[in-house]
Structures are given as structure tokens and as C-alpha cells.
Amino acid sequence: MLLLRKAKKIVKRIVYFVAPNLIGPECYRIQRLKELMTGKDGQIAVFTHRMGGGSEKYIQDRIACGDFQSDELIFVYSMTNDDGYYVEKKIEDKTYRFYSPTADMLMKELGKCIVNEILVNNLFEFRDIGLITGKILEFKKKHSTFVKMLIHDYYCICDNVHLYSSTNGYYCGMKNCEECKDRKGNISAWRSMWKAFLSNCDEVIAFSYDSKIRLLKIYDDLPIDVVPHVSSELRKANVNYHGDRINVAILGDLSEVKGERVVAEIASKIRELNLNIKLLQIGRNINGTIEGDDIYEVYGKYDRSHLPEIVEEYNIEIILILSVIPETFSYTTQEAIMLGLPVICFNLGAQAEQIQKYEKGILVDKIDAVNVIESILAFRGKGGA
């Protein structure tokens, strides 16, 4: 046992000196953070990940609109190949990276900087959630730091972050959680840990009323503010098309939780029934499970600002948002509404909340390909083209 403890200490020492080189050629040990930040007070420590999606877009949008200044942010990430952390800090137009082998060292060095706020943007990649949330609360108590938690997903409800059921292929309904096979750990311990953290945050922000309601089903006395995302406007698309074929776009990247199975079934039904409908995936087919043909075409990665031109080029009449799980907010739904075209989505999550307020919105109650096709045909039957 003694030899094992000594071996662990040796490994940690090796990692401490070697890991910065693994991160990049200009990575420093965490102790140099304050030294290089001389005079940079009033900082916001942002605990987040680099996996893309709404979490990253939120920070980028806040910087773009001037709510955040890039030189006031200290980004904290979890390492993926060890238990350490790395920090990114922009200082005088140069981005520096720092490595810390432990949460204790990380928080100690952050404490030497004037951190006025900790923004918990997303902890999905962090290895030990109980450890890091506990350290954040210790930091808050010691330094009187304001702690804000953002609800970009449902990780604080379940480690099955999207609440996706592999059994039925869509939203789990947050039922029979103890028997669920899609989560990893003990659900009661998970929620107890998160409740202790959330109830001690100074502010918890959701981006839709739907996600607030879902959180309150688990944490019924938790104060939650709802602040929907605000993105730059898109011009309305001018589609002047009167052909026989119905051109339909599926907006956003396609994956399991974004309706991959439903899209495959829609394409199959179109072929089976010989319907004059063409599907365009404006986004990537992440898993590549559906082959492109004359029924289904993949446009690929797109620039948001070019969306009006894309739907005009392909004469798109209807946009589908086919997430089979409740979104906490849906950027693609927001984009579709801005384009001014009819939008079909399942009656679920923040996406449905947005569509309910839209005069050209169509909600489908049952997650099923046939119901989506019927909604498309009903739109054309009512003279929608």
C-alpha cells in the first residue's frame, strides 16, 4: 500500500512536468497565471468544455455583442487524458495556456487572481463533478465570489445528459430513473450532489421555460431565472417556388438525438409511397447512417449568415426540426423562424415552446415519421406552396 501511494506521487510529479508539453508548446504551469496577469483584476472564471454546441456558441455570442470582454475571461477546462485541468487566458492579444494537475492547485492559483465571478457554463467533460462543484463552493465561501450556473443541458438532472432513451429511441420522460440503463451511476447520489451545488449558486439561468419546468420537477424549490438566447437577426428567405415537388430542409447537424432514426424512416416512406418530396440536410450527417440519393441530400456544414441564400437556392418550402429529446434552447429553431418559412417540430422541449409562438409553426405530437409526412402533405394541401 505504501509503495502504491509513493508510485502515485511519482506519477503525479511526472505528469505535472510533462503534461504542459502535451497541451502545446506554449503551455505553462498554473503558478505562472497570476504572474502573467499583472494588473488584470475583475476576472470571470468560465468552467466549460470545447465540444461545440450551444455552450460554446453562448460564450462566443456574449463576446461578440460586448457583454464579455475577452481579456476578462479565464477559461477552465478538464483534461481528457488525466485528472488535471488546463486554463486559457488572453493577455494583450496573446492566448496563454496553463496546466494544473489537481483541483486544489487550480483553485489556489485562481484565488491569487481577482476573480469576481465563476460562470459554470458546462461541466460535461469534467471527470469528477462532485469534486469540482465542491471546490467551486469552497472558493465562493473563501473569496465571496459570485457563482452563476447556466442550464445548457440536463447534466444536472442525469449523467445521461440528453435524457435520451436507447430503449424507445427518444426522450426518456424522466420516468423509472432508478431502472434506467442509459445512466452510469446512482441517480439519487447524482441529484443530491447537484442539489447541494445548485442551491448554493447565486444565480441559476435557464434559456427556456420548458427547461425550468423540467428542473423544478427534480429541484422543486430552486430559484431559476429564464433568459432566452438572443442571436443576430437573419433576413427572411424569399422562396418563390410553385413546382410539383415539395422541397423540405432538415436544419442542423443530424445525430441520434437530433432525429436520425426519424429522418431515415421519412426517407424510406417517401420511397415506399413514391411521394414527390425531396429532403435536404442543411448541416452534417454526423454518423453517416443515411446514404444520399435523389430523395435525401446532405448539404453539409453551413455558415449561419448564408442560410437565406441556401434555402432560396434549393427552393425550400418547409423546415423540419426533428430533435427527439427536449432541447433547453434551440438555435436551429430560432434560425428557422427568422427565415420566415413554415417549421415542423415535435411537441417537445424548448423547440416546441418557440414554435408555439410562431404563426407558421406546426407541432407534431407523436414522434413518428408518418405523422411528419402527413404534416408536410397537409401543408401543401392547404395551398402552402
C-alpha 82/C-alpha 70 separation (Å) is: 28
Are 19 and 54 in the same domain? yes
Q: Of 181-190, 255-264, 338-347, where does mean pLDDT reach its minimum?
A: 181-190
Split at pLDDT 50, 70, 90, the class of 26 is low
Number of compact structural domains in the chain: 2
| Residue predicted with more confidence, 274 or 5 | 274
Are 197 and 291 in the same domain? no
Identify the CATH number of the domain in which residue 78 sits: 3.40.50.2000
Are 293 and 373 in the same domain? yes
C-alpha 376/C-alpha 142 separation (Å) is: 58
Provide the residue type at 35 as one letter.
E
C-alpha 267/C-alpha 290 separation (Å) is: 9
Instruction: Tell me whether residue 189 is in a domain.
Output: yes
- Burial per residue of 69-81, b for 16 or more beta-carbon CB atoms within 10 angstroms, e otherwise: eeeebbbbbbbee
C-alpha 40/C-alpha 47 separation (Å) is: 19
Instruction: Tell me whether residue 236 is in a domain.
Output: no
Split at pLDDT 50, 70, 90, the class of 382 is low
- What does the pLDDT read at residue 14? 39
Using alpha carbons, select from 28, 141, 139 the residue that is nearest to residue 87.
28
Are 124 and 204 in the same domain? yes
Provide the residue type at 328 as one letter.
T
19 pLDDT above the threshold of 80: no
C-alpha 110/C-alpha 129 separation (Å) is: 18
18 pLDDT above the threshold of 50: no
Decide which of 226, 256, 280 is a domain's last residue: 226
44 and 68 Cβ atoms separated by less than 8 Å = yes
Are 216 and 276 in the same domain? no
Q: Which of 85-94, 223-232, 277-286 has the highest mean pLDDT?
A: 277-286
241 pLDDT above the threshold of 50: yes
Half-sphere exposure of 336 (CA within 13 A, CB side): 30
Instruction: Tell me whether residue 342 is in a domain.
Output: yes
Are 141 and 185 in the same domain? yes
Are 205 and 121 in the same domain? yes
Contacts of 57 (CB under 8 A, 6+ apart): 331
- What does the pLDDT read at residue 50? 86
23 pLDDT above the threshold of 50: no
CA 351 to chain centre: 14
78 pLDDT above the threshold of 50: yes
Split at pLDDT 50, 70, 90, the class of 231 is confident
Instruction: Tell me whether residue 1 is in a domain.
Output: no
Split at pLDDT 50, 70, 90, the class of 5 is very low
What integer is the mean pLDDT of 247-260?
Answer: 96
- What does the pLDDT read at residue 21? 45
C-alpha 258/C-alpha 135 separation (Å) is: 34
Decide which of 226, 259, 286 is a domain's last residue: 226
17 pLDDT above the threshold of 70: no
C-alpha 190/C-alpha 326 separation (Å) is: 20
- What does the pLDDT read at residue 38? 63
What integer is the mean pLDDT of 22-40?
Answer: 73
25 pLDDT above the threshold of 60: no
- What does the pLDDT read at residue 126? 93
Half-sphere exposure of 298 (CA within 13 A, CB side): 17
9 pLDDT above the threshold of 60: no
Instruction: Tell me whether residue 232 is in a domain.
Output: no
For strands 361-364 and 343-346, give the pairing.
parallel
Average pLDDT, the chain: 90
Are 251 and 222 in the same domain? no
Instruction: Tell me whether residue 349 is in a domain.
Output: yes
What range defines the domain where residue 19 resides? 12-226
What integer is the mean pLDDT of 106-130?
Answer: 94
Instruction: Tell me whether residue 155 is in a domain.
Output: yes
Q: What is the DSSP letter of 101?
A: S
217 and 202 Cβ atoms separated by less than 8 Å = no
- What does the pLDDT read at residue 89? 92
Decide which of 226, 259, 283 is a domain's last residue: 226
Q: Of 41-45, 249-253, 262-266, where does mean pLDDT reach its minimum?
A: 41-45
Residue 79 corresponds to which cell in the numbers above?
A: 483534461
Are 35 and 125 in the same domain? yes
Q: Which of 5-9, 229-233, 281-285 has the highest mean pLDDT?
A: 281-285
Q: Which of 29-38, 83-92, 271-280 has the highest mean pLDDT?
A: 271-280
Are 154 and 25 in the same domain? yes
Are 198 and 92 in the same domain? yes
- 3-state DSSP helix/strand/coil % of the chain, to nearest 5: 40, 20, 40
Quick one: what percent of the chain has pLDDT higher than 70? 91
Instruction: Tell me whether residue 5 is in a domain.
Output: no
DSSP of 179-193, one letter per residue? G-SS--S-HHHHHHH
**Phi first, then psi: what are they for 163, rounded to 5°?**
55, 40
Collect contacts of 88-91 with beta carbons under 8 A, ≥24 apart: 89/33, 89/36, 89/37, 91/36, 91/37, 91/40
Are 222 and 260 in the same domain? no
